[in-house]
Amino acid sequence: ERCREDAKLQYNFLTDATCVDRYPAEPRFELNYHLVSIARREKVRLRVWLGGNDPVVDSLVLVWTGANWLEREIFDLFGIRFTGHPDLRRILLPDDWEGHPLRRDYPVEGYRDVPNTGELFRKSSTP
């Protein structure tokens, strides 16, 4: 919140949030928030390191509303839970999908039956 509200910083725009799984290293997960100060024409990357197999971090949705779907995507694909997120549910994969496929320890055993693409697109656009 300070990054956004501080008059000297003014990072008022979240352009992206990404995650890196560094398994087997600890801390395992690296969250990267890419912020922009439009008034100052500056960019910054904010890194947050999370350890363990069940990582939890505070949501930034109340600070930057654009974090909503970015955090949902990270939750869906990496399993990181965002405390205080208003609607933390899967955004890309079906609700019954087991695991989080972008984790480096996710078993690669071939493809399983998934709904057709049209169903996935309808799911991701449902409020």
Domains and CATH numbers, the chain: 2-125 (3.30.460.80)
Q: pLDDT tens across 67-95, in order?
A: 999 999 999 999 999 999 999 999 999 99
pLDDT along the chain (127 residues), means of 10: 70 94 96 92 94 94 94 98 97 92 84 58 57
Q: How far apart are CA 34 and CA 8, in angstroms?
A: 18
Phi, psi (degrees; rounded to nearest 5) at 93: -100, 155
Residue 21, CA distances (Å) to 16, 57, 74, 100, 121 in order? 17, 15, 11, 11, 26
